[in-house]
């Protein structure tokens, strides 16, 4: 039971890290769904090694990116 609580706490604290981190430098990284775009880019560059970690982060990044979508929809970017 304690392991499950620790695991859930860890997942919740890591969730959306990429989406939040990309917004820290908002002048350079201003585009819709930046967290998910970067997660997808990391899957390609790591040749699948980071997939387990990104499967944890991606749903939370989706939520964070969706919340910020109204402010970013007019921008586009390439990673």
Residues 19-60 have pLDDT tens digits of 777 767 666 667 788 888 888 888 888 888 878 878 877 888
Instruction: Tell me the C-alpha distance between 3 and 24, whole Å.
Output: 32
∠ CA 43-34-59, rounded to 5°: 65
The pTM of the full predicted model, rounded to 2 decimals, is 0.64
DSSP states along the chain? -HHHHHHHHHHHHHTTHHHHHHHHTTTT--STTHHHHHHHHHHHHTTTTTHHHHHHHHHHHHHHHHHHHHHHTT-----
Residue 13 predicted with pLDDT over 60: no
């Amino acid at each position: 039971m304690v392991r499950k609580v620790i695991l859930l706490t860890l997942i919740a604290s890591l969730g959306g890290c990429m989406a939040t981190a990309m917004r820290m430098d908002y002048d350079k990284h201003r585009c819709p769904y930046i967290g998910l775009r970067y997660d997808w880019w990391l899957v390609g560059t790591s040749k699948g090694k980071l997939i387990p970690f990104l499967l944890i982060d991606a749903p939370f990044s989706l939520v964070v990116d969706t919340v910020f979508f109204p402010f970013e929809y007019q921008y586009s970017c390439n990673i």
